Amino acid sequence: MWDDDMEMRQRLLELVRAHTTHMSVVLSSGRSSNVYVDCRMITLHPEGALLSARALLGLLDATGWRADAIGGPTLGADPICGALAVVSQLQGRPIPTFIVRKERKAHGRGRQIEGPIPEGAQVVLVDDVATTGGSLLKAARALREEGHTVVGAMVLVDRGEGALEALEEEGIPLRSVFSLQDIV
């Protein structure tokens, strides 16, 4: 489908740009912005999901981080995790994925972290877009409370509005496939 990683990355960038709108919005961080990157239009699309997973697995390889599992905060990480699980299996290196709920379930098993994550795992967080890093930090705290080690975080787009610094303060390096400057 794509001749090389650069062609794949360029196609993913085209999709991200196609789903970036210049309009006044309030982001999940509570901040206002004139640029909205709608990554769910990409990660929920067959081609976009495949490209996102391949790009993030390539980024994981570049970091050298060892991950027993990859996951992140619901809702941004949900489609990414599904795609990562499938693509990692197809690549012959299956990586379990997980989702971190905003709060512990009040019924069933009462879990906040869902998925086949091994006990005491080394995990990498993933999300679609990072602004302040609040969602990733909340997920990291829940994982640490369950005895897991967060070795890093990856996102498709880092808006460059404090997530990198906030995560690094918690000892979590952040890597992104694209910056907001790459897109606009």
State the Cα–Cα distance between residues 108 and 110, nearest whole angstrom. 5
Is 136 within 8 Å of 127 (Cβ atoms)? yes
Q: What is the pLDDT of residue 10?
A: 96
Q: What is the pLDDT of residue 89?
A: 98
In tens, the pLDDT along 57-115 reads: 999 999 999 999 999 999 999 999 999 999 999 999 999 999 999 888 666 676 899 99
Q: Two tokens at 119?
A: 């006990």
Report the share of the chain in percent with pLDDT over 70: 96
Q: What is the pLDDT of residue 150?
A: 98
Residue 2 reports pLDDT greater than 80: no
Give the residue, 6 or 178, on which the prediction is more confident.
178
Instruction: Give the pair of three-digit tokens for residue 176.
Output: 């992104």
Q: Domain segments of the chain: what residues?
A: 52-178
Distance separating alpha carbons of residues 163 and 168, to the nearest angstrom: 8
Pick the CATH number of 52-178 from 3.40.50.2020, 1.10.10.60, 3.10.20.30, 1.10.10.10: 3.40.50.2020
3-state secondary structure of 57: helix
The residue behind tokens 């360029």 is 10
